[in-house]
Amino acid sequence: MPTISRFYGIVILMYWNDHAPPHFHALYGEDEGVVALDSLALIRGHLPHRAMNMVVEWAEQHSRELEEDWELCRSRQMPNKIEPLG
């Protein structure tokens, strides 16, 4: 599971050849949330409100890069790193 980005204790991951819909995993402490790329909604798991807000802000800034990384992971290629939330 490649790490795409890290910021403020949040780790963003994508799994190789993962199932649809397109999404990424966000880890924060003991919590994990699965976030849909199209709506940026939490589709599984849990993240604290503040962490989720930062994840959404970051994903809005990097939506195109996330879509590219999703396609790379679907074809079992290493995704590109994405700049952290600044």
Q: What are the tens digits of pLDDT across the range 37-57?
A: 999 999 999 999 999 999 999
**Biggest CA pair distance of the chain:** 33
Angle between helices 63-74 and 49-61 (to 10 degrees): 90
- Name the pTM for this structure: 0.94
Average pLDDT over the chain reads: 96
Q: Which of 6, 57, 5, 12 is nearest to 34 (CA)?
A: 12
21 cis-preceded (ω within 30 degrees of 0): yes
Q: What are phi and psi of 11, to 5 degrees?
A: -115, 130
The H or E element spanning position 45 is: strand 42-45
